[in-house]
Structure 1
Amino acid sequence: MIGDILTELRNRRGFTQDQMADALGVKRPRYSSWENDIAKPDIEMLQKIAKFHNVTPDYILGFESNNQVPGWATARDKRDFKKMLEEDGDLMFDGVPIEGDDRQRIKDVLTGLFWEAKQMNKRKKKSDSTNDTKR
C-alpha cells in the first residue's frame, strides 16, 4: 500500500518521519498516518511527495510506470483487470457521454481503485488465514 512505499522512499533518503514531515511542511503525526495507511495524502500532497523523491505519483500509488500494473499482481489479477478494461462501455454522467481527457482521467481513477481493492482483498485473506491458524 501507499504507506509501505512512503516508508521505503523515506528510508532511501535516510530521513526520520520528523525530517520528512518538515520537508513536506506537515506535522509528524499527519505524515505518520500516511505511512501507517491510516490516511492518504491528497492529490496535491501526493504530487509534492513524488516531486521530492523524484518519482511519479503512480509509483507512490503502487503502479508500474509503464502499464499501471502493480508488481505484486498475479496472472489472475492481470486477467481480472484486462476483463474490466474490455468491458469498456460508454462512460456517462447525468445522461451525457464523458469523452476525451475526462474519460481517461476517470479510467485512471478506476484503475487505481481496482488495484487498491485487489491489494486490500489479498491482505484481508492473508489476515483471515493467519487468524484461523492461531485458533
Structure 2
Amino acid sequence: MIADKIKQLRTSRDMTQSDLAKKLNITRSSVNAWEMGLSTPSTAYLVELSQLFHVSTDYLLGLSGNATLDISNLSEKEVQIVYDLVQYFRDKK
C-alpha cells in the first residue's frame, strides 16, 4: 500500500525515481525497493516524504484516505478558487 502511494505521488509530480532519491539524499535503488514493496521507508523518511509531497504520514501509511493540500501560501482569492474547483469535482459525481 505505501509502495503504491509513493509511486503515485512521485509520478503525479513527473519525478523519476532518481529525482526523488536526490531530494532525499538516498540511492535510486532504495526508492525502487520502496515502490516494489521490498522494503519500507524508515520513520525519518516517512516524515520527509510527507513534507515533500504535502501529505500526512497517515495518508502514506494508508491509515487515512484523505490527501491534504497545503494552501498556506495562497492568497484568499486563490484559496477560494481551489475550494470552488474541489466543489465542482464533488458535484460531478
Instruction: Spell out, residue by residue over 1:39-75, the C-alpha distance to the aligned partner (whole angstroms, 9 max, x if none).
Output: 0011011000100000011100012167xxxxxxxxx
Output the amino acid matched with 2:30.
R
Q: Answer yes or no: is 1:2 the counterpart of 2:2.
A: yes
Counterpart of 1:32 in structure 2 is 32
Instruction: Spell out, residue by residue over 1:84-119, the C-alpha distance to the aligned partner (whole angstroms, 9 max, x if none).
Output: xxxxxxxxxxxxxxxxxxxxxxxxxxxxxxxxxxxx
Of structures 1 and 2, the one scoring higher in RCO (CA 8 A, sep 6+) is 2
**Structure 1: gaps spanning 5 or more residues:** 67-135
**Structure 2: gaps spanning 5 or more residues:** 67-93
- Structure of greater Rg: 1
Counting aligned pairs with the same residue, the percent is 32
The alignment's TM-score, normalised by the length of structure 1, stands at 0.47
> How many residues are paired up?
66
SS at structure 2 position matched to 1:8:
helix
Moved over 6 A (4+): none
State how far apart, in whole Å, the 1-side matches of 2:65 and 2:4 are: 17
The 5 A counterparts of 1:69-84 are none
Counterpart of 2:58 in structure 1 is 58
